[in-house]
């Protein structure tokens, strides 16, 4: 049975749940791509989270679902920082779990979706009561569920806590016949199987390669000027959040060693949910080696517009278009949204060979400048040579674009979703 046959027969609707669907974080971005494919097949999609920038008419906001909710922060702090669980903490976790389960029931009752899609809320325990609530809801209501896991608790040292291990076993992730598990890289799938004994489906991060990327236009042509750069500045883009596993010091060192008189490292995203210490570390390191590093998250949004000061807000796509080189020195990634985006925008990439890159991406033959943990003189020479050779760069980025279309496209995602639906509805 083909994807179209399944659609014609059932036309299922999907309810998406996460802690948030807003902004430029990887989970929100990948969820939107799934929605793009599903809606292109005539499917209805709905959303529940603690923070939403989705259409209010198809959304259900549950503030307690957000990992930044005051009470959730307090409980998470007890479980994973203090690693102390009292009877009062346990009681409050279960009370909030019940409240959130009622919110999920309201969400399902309001929109009547056929399939639940859980985006990372059953993988990384940033909101323990939410994971417990979703798990119980799925079991009690027998609803077909796709759990899309972006990163697991065992991949983060801060979630190693005996005070919460029973919750981890119960809901991060849960194992049930109604739940199909999707991982974004093969190494995570292998770890998942060892931890749970359950089956998994691999669906990497994707982008719509069939739709050509936008170009420099009247709106974004002044981007460099708006962030204080000259038109002939060398813009090196670090399109990630400011968290320690991103290895941003390596990108700053590379920019310094390029010895370009107008080289600037641009960092597009916020510090995220891991605090401000690493942001301060990057700022201090940049001052120490005397390199121009600029944080422009206040000028980047999901869409173009203006802020409260009347300044232009650019999309992340606008930033990519102005980049001369993309750095991706991550020590660890679940897959690599920034890698896929850079391939799509036909930008050269200098990338650290993190484990998922070597396992799932490198074997596909992408033409990028790789390094192993630090920049050698030889790798620095490769970068300089590439920046001075437009013909070589053109061949590189075109090859990468075609490989991306083959392995990381909406068409690939569509095929994977077809199999998940066959598993639910049969052939």
Percent with pLDDT over 70 in the chain? 97
pLDDT tens profile 110-141? 999 999 999 999 999 999 999 999 999 999 99
Q: Which fold is adopted by the domain 223-407? A: Rossmann fold (3.40.50)
**Length, in residues, of the chain:** 427
277 exposure class (CB count in 10 Å sphere: 0-12, 13-18, 19+): exposed
Q: What is the DSSP letter of 295?
A: E
Predicted confidence (pLDDT) per residue in 297-309, tens digit: 999 988 899 999 9
pLDDT on residue 8:
67
pLDDT band for 273, please (50, 70, 90 cuts).
low
The structure tokens listed for 193 are: 């199987």
Fold agreement (3-206+410-425, 223-407): yes
> What are the φ and ψ backbone dihedral angles of 209, each rounded to 5 degrees?
-65, -20
Average pLDDT, the chain: 93
Tens of pLDDT along 47-82? 999 999 999 999 999 999 999 999 999 999 999 999
Residue 193 pLDDT exceeds 80: yes
Q: Could you tell me the residue ranges of all domains in the chain?
A: 3-206+410-425, 223-407
pLDDT the model gives residue 1: 44
Confidence (pLDDT) at 5: 65
Residue 337's pLDDT is 85
Task: Give the pLDDT band (50/70/90) at residue 341.
Answer: very high
pLDDT band at 272 (very low <50, low <70, confident <90, very high): low
For the cut 70, the answer to whether the pLDDT of residue 85 exceeds it is yes
Higher pLDDT: 95 or 274? It is: 95
pLDDT of 399 higher than 50: yes
Residue 35 has pLDDT above 90, yes or no: yes
pLDDT at 338 over 60: yes
Model confidence over 350-395: pLDDT tens digits?
A: 999 999 999 999 999 999 999 999 999 999 999 999 999 999 999 9
Q: Spell out the residues 6+ positions from residue 218 whose beta carbon is closer than 8 angstroms to its own.
A: none
Between 121 and 10, name the one with better pLDDT: 121
Sequence-separated (6 or more) residues with CB below 8 Å from residue 379: 350, 369, 370, 371
- What pLDDT is recorded for position 274? 59
Query: Is 130:105 a contact under the CB 8 Å cutoff?
Result: no
Task: From the options 3.40.50.2000, 2.40.50.100, 3.40.50.150, 3.40.50.300, give the CATH code of 3-206+410-425.
Answer: 3.40.50.2000
Token digits of residue 63 = 């503030």
**149: part of which helix (H) or strand (E)?**
strand 145-149
What's the pLDDT tens digit per position in 235-263? 999 998 888 888 999 999 999 999 999 99
Which of 383, 328, 382 is closest to 352 using CA atoms?
Answer: 328
pLDDT band (50, 70, 90) for residue 332: confident
């Amino acid at each position: 049975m083909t994807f179209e046959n399944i659609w014609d027969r059932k036309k299922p609707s999907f309810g998406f749940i996460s802690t948030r669907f807003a902004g430029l974080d990887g989970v929100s971005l990948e969820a939107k791509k799934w929605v793009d494919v599903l809606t292109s097949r005539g499917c209805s999609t709905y959303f529940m989270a603690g923070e939403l920038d989705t259409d209010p008419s198809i959304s259900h906001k549950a503030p307690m679902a957000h990992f930044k909710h005051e009470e959730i922060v307090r409980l998470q702090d007890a479980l994973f920082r203090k690693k102390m669980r009292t009877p009062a903490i346990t009681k409050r976790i279960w009370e909030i779990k019940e409240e959130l389960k009622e919110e999920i029931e309201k969400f399902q009752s309001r929109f009547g979706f056929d399939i639940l899609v859980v985006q990372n809320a059953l993988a990384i325990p940033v909101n323990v009561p939410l994971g417990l609530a979703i798990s119980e809801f799925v079991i009690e209501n027998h609803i077909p569920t796709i759990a899309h896991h972006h990163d697991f608790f065992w991949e983060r040292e801060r979630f190693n806590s005996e005070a919460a291990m029973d919750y981890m076993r119960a809901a991060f992730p849960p194992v049930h016949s109604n739940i199909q598990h999707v991982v974004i890289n093969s190494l995570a799938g292998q770890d998942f199987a060892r931890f749970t004994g359950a089956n998994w489906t691999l669906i990497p991060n994707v982008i719509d390669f069939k739709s050509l990327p936008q170009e420099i236009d009247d709106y974004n042509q002044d981007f460099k000027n708006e962030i204080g750069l000259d038109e002939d500045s060398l813009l090196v883009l670090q399109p990630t959040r400011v968290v320690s596993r991103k290895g941003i010091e390596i990108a700053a060192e590379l920019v310094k060693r390029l010895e370009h008189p107008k080289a600037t490292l641009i960092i597009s995203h916020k510090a995220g949910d891991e605090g401000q210490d690493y942001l301060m570390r990057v700022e201090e390191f940049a001052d120490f080696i005397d390199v121009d590093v600029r944080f422009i998250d206040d000028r980047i949004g999901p869409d173009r517009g203006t802020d409260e000061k009347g300044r232009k807000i650019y999309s992340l796509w606008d930033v990519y278009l102005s980049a001369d080189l993309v750095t991706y020195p991550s020590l660890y990634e679940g897959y690599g949204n920034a890698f896929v985006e850079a391939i799509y925008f036909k930008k050269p990439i200098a990338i650290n060979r993190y484990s998922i890159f070597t396992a799932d991406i490198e074997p596909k033959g992408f033409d990028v400048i790789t390094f192993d943990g630090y920049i050698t003189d030889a790798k620095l020479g490769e970068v300089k040579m590439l920046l001075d050779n437009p013909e070589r760069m053109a061949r590189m980025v075109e090859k990468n674009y075609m490989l991306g279309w083959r392995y990381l496209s909406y068409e690939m995602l569509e095929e994977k979703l077809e199999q998940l639906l066959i598993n639910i509805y049969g052939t």
